[in-house]
Structure 1
Amino acid sequence: MKWNNKNERFVVFLDIMGFKDRVARTPMEKLYEQLVDFNTEIVNIIAKNKSEEVQLAQFSDSIVLFTNNSEKESLNNLSAILCEIMKEAIYRNIPLKGALAKGLIVCDMAKQLFFGQALIDAYLLEESVQFYGVAVHHTAEKDVVGMKEQYRDIKIPLKGGTVFHYTLVWWLNHQDRVKENLNNIRFHVSDSPRKYIDNTINVMS
């Protein structure tokens, strides 16, 4: 399959939570091993889903997924991959938050050159998310309507307040194990980071 460097596509921007604290408290070699191992797992998840139309880019604590186009099949594959990544992140004590958007993006994997309004949209919405989850930007909202196994219009906590927003329900059918791992993460954080744990459990309820 030919990769389109310039195309309308879906993009997901994910942020590893508590990364600065990890850098401060974790030996460099150990942190490097953790990130390489998690990156390898993401690559394996993409490969397992046989999804040539999804590409991965990672910069420090930012993980970005791009589709080759904006077709429904690409969104379905991306969503399945994203659900697995979110669960695996919680199981590894590497919680993520993020956002999904759609639009024209230059994604030149060979040159590692990425830009476009949709990438900015995903980044800005991710900045507002205050739980371990993935919110859907309004540019992609019509595309996820009806995908009830992956997305639902539910109340989620954002910086502007708790509002209805289409959200990836990555925890579906795995609530008990996810909650157990969320409570394990609680032993590793104090103060405001704990609100993300509480918020996530509330969103799942």
Structure 2
Amino acid sequence: MAKKTNEKTNWKTSDKRFVAFLDILGFKDMVMRKSHENIYETLNHISKGKKLVEKAPEHDTISDKYKDAEVYVVSFSDSIVIFSKNDSFDNLRYFLLSTRWIFTTAFNNQIPLKGAIAHGEVSLNKSEQIYFGQPIIDAYLMEEDVNYMGIVAHNSIDSYLSKIADEKELKILEKMLFEDKTTLKCGSITHTNINWFKIVRPEGKDIPEVKDIKEKINLFKQSSSGTARKYVDNTLIMFEKIENEL
């Protein structure tokens, strides 16, 4: 993969962006039950994924496809926040790609996540580590309500998507998103979700297979009981809604 020699343009401090807020499920219990070294290894897996998606646009093959798109990832304790550079369609595509890639990489390493995405004006100052804006709050509150291992869209995302008229762009999004009754803590409610199931690849296979994905989801039962196991059951329910679309 050839590396670009030119740097990307600077980010605006304040701009309309897409934000993902992801949270590690059962982190407090994990801290109590696992060694400090094991927790560090878990967080290191996530950190490596973060660096890959941030650096990927420096390479020609990614830059040619996604133009000026970039993401910036902030992680602290059990939370991961992903920011897009702006809200262009290319940035939306790369943001969705990056978010579900980080999610699936964690899933494949038996690190359970759940999360939400939102859209709107965000101020982001990397050097001063200043991040604020309504979409961060919207994504956080939406994530709190998510009741399965998945990523659900806040209504601000639906509003953005409703303005897309280009058929080609809509076709691209159909492969990355799906709308269905979603298992939330407040009940089963129709929402847009990121389709991360599509990119789960069992070792040695080029395409996702229903049996293998279900086995991977069920593996989480070995590390959860009682209330915590509801996330496994709910993830299977959500997967079964779209398994024929893989």
**What TM-score do you get using the length of structure 2 for normalisation?**
0.79
Unaligned runs of 5+ in 2: 1-8, 64-68, 163-169, 199-206, 241-246
Distance 2:104 2:38 in 1: 22
Structure 1 counterpart of 2:23, one-letter code: D
Deviations 1:118-176 (A, max 9, x none): 10000000000000111111111133463110111111111210011011111026344
Deviations 1:76-124 (A, max 9, x none): 0011112212211111111111111001111111111111111000000
| Aligned position for 1:195 | 230
Distance 2:93 2:144 in 1: 24
Unaligned runs of 5+ in 1: none
| Aligned position for 2:29 | 21
Matched-pair identity in %:
34
Counterparts in 2 of 1:39 and 1:134: CA distance versus 1, 3 Å: same
Q: How many residues align?
A: 205
Counterparts in 2 of 1:178 and 1:45: CA distance versus 1, 3 Å: farther
SS in structure 1 of the partner of residue 149 of structure 2: coil
| Aligned position for 1:150 | 176
Distance 1:46 1:170 in 2: 19
Distance 2:161 2:224 in 1: 33
Which structure features the higher share of strand residues?
Answer: 1
Larger-gyration structure (1/2)? 2
More RCO (CA 8 Å, sep 6+): 1
Deviations 1:36-73 (A, max 9, x none): 13211232144335476200000100000001111111
Alignment of 1:33-182 (within 5 A): 33-48=41-56, 50=62, 53-144=70-161, 146=170, 147-172=173-198, 174=208, 175-182=210-217
4+ aligned runs moved over 4 Å, structure 1: 49-52
